[in-house]
Structure 1
């Protein structure tokens, strides 16, 4: 079984320790890398991609350093950065042809692969349009297509669904679930729903360190007995927000509101335990990044 090992990976800038002694062992399947913006996810991804040199530590594929593997590592690697560059005059198809040539894919194979990816990512109708004229969501889909061109064994995606609408997000998750069989896929995101239903394992990153890692079920279990629901008067919402960490507010009839909240004990009257989700763990670990959701 293939294995991507991140061993004591560290990146120190002059005034900041961006990645602090991170170790992970990735095996085939979808892995989620969760963390707030600024947690160090992108810096770590760039080192795994071989784009950024670590201050110390290393990345190993099947026991060999990716520095020693060099070109052979890039041949089996796909990467979608947070922002990808393209020449403004490129059409979708010409850009993918150009990227195929850079990746050393023969013209015949490239042509077949590009047509398949255009259909898979619903880009066939815009293949002759210039990328700069596409919406942000469509541009993101083009970026996803280029990451898949060489049918990589390892696929690294940094905030892949940024700019995608809900329907596109669902389509993309389905594509990834199918693609990940016998491949290693690592998705960096702060949008928990992107990985909650498709990732078999997750790592949570905060302040440059991995603070939790394991199967989705094991991480969710951490929140057992810490998720509650109750109903309160809407006039009491402000008081409730000062007492507990609210994950969700739903307006009910008669000036009432249903609250889903996180706490070690049932703080509010009438509270009943709720089944925890991965999103609850994220809000528990990143209270400053929670952004209470309100449903009307």
Structure 2
């Protein structure tokens, strides 16, 4: 099983939303990381067959998805950022409607709906109208509809928006189990949602692929660039003005522990800190839009320095 994104680009007037991206997706969980506006949603819509590339193509097991047509949709599940529903639909009615669209028999539909309502903790509200549900519950309904046809390829665009921490943990566990022999691609800018469950990550910025690799491979790109130290509380504004601070923690003695990103330590008391995937994300997408030319060139499996 292979999903190949082959030199795919998408241009809107004079702007390239996706610029010559190539990826080879195999079974497992993939994280698609990037800031808002990076081109993630456009890329996913092309993978879903909803939008046609300006150039390049998407192939499933060597066959263009346009050629596969209905056969591709039969093995595909998609959760967009915003999914539509009729306000009068109950959870049960909506899932039955989507199951019919996906070609499930009535018997299959009942079984899958019952199973998924339990898996995403919606059994107690299955007769409620979707319009009356909380944002997190609506998101869970969207996750359930994407899983109805037990797809071989599952594409999820910002799936955890509105979910509380407990729901996010259950969702990550569900995806890890589901992806055993399937391709799952999760687009997000919430790095912890994919840091520990993704087999591999692809990071894009301004429509271009910056890096691909496992969490372990990618965090090496910021080794020696993550530092920590303890400073007086009164010095925090001055440090914030000249450093990219990742986190601050107030200590009992009135001092503040900071963790920051920099090519070199900012003082003699800073010590190296073990990098995480979120550190790489913040290094590539610095707050305030600060540019660093060393962060922009790309190569499969890493970043040119």
TM range (shorter): over 0.9
Which residue of 2 is the match for residue 204 of structure 1? 203
**1:20-35 mapped onto 2 (5 Å cutoff):** 20-35=19-34
Distance 2:267 2:239 in 1: 8
CA contact (8 A) 2:33 2:204 kept: yes
What is the number of residues matched between the two proteins? 289
Structure 1 residue 16, shift from structure 2 partner: 1.4
Structure 2 equivalent of residue 107 of structure 1: 106
Q: Are 2:146 and 1:147 aligned?
A: yes
Report if the CA contact (8 A) 1:283-1:289 is conserved: no
Mapped contact 1:60–1:66 kept (Cα < 8 A): yes
Does residue 58 of the first structure (1) align with residue 54 of the second (2)?
Answer: no
Deviates more, 1:268-277 or 1:41-50: 268-277
Structure 2-normalised TM-score?
0.93
| CA deviation profile, 1:108-159 (whole Å, cap 9, x unmatched) | 0110110000000000000000000000000000000000000000000000
CA deviation map 1:153-176 (0-9, x unaligned): 000000000111111111100100
> What CA deviation, in whole Å up to 9, does each residue of 1:36-86 have, x standing for no partner?
000000000000000001111000000000000000000000000000000
**Equivalent residue number for residue 253 of structure 1:** 252
Q: Where do 1:1-296 residues align within 5 Å?
A: 2-288=1-287
User: Can you give the 5+ residue segments of structure 2 that lack an aligned partner in the other structure?
Assistant: 290-305
Question: Does the CA-based 8 Å contact 2:244-2:287 persist in structure 1?
Answer: no
- Aligned partner of residue 222 in structure 2, secondary structure: coil
2: CA distance between counterparts of 1:48 and 1:155? 10
Alpha-carbon displacement from aligned partner over 1:224-270 (angstroms, at most 9, x marks no partner): 11111100011101111123211010111232100011111111331
- Any conservation in 1 of the 2:228–2:271 contact (CA below 8 Å)? yes
Matched residue, 1:294: none
Shifted more, 140-149 versus 163-172: the winner is 163-172
Give secondary structure in 1 for the equivalent of 2:258: strand
Q: CA RMSD in A?
A: 1.0
Contact 1:89 1:131 in 2 (8 A): yes
CA distance in 1, matches of 2:233, 2:21: 44
For the residues of structure 2 that align with 1:184 and 1:244, how far apart are their CA atoms?
39
**C-alpha separation in 2, matches of 1:203 and 1:247:** 22
Structure 1 counterpart of 2:293 = none
SS in structure 1 at match of 2:181: coil
SS in 2 for 1:181: helix
Q: How far is 1:289 from its partner?
A: 6.7
- SS of the residue corresponding to residue 19 of structure 1 reads strand
Q: Secondary structure at the match of 1:95?
A: helix
CA distance in 2, matches of 1:169, 1:235: 37
Gaps of 5+ in 1: 291-296
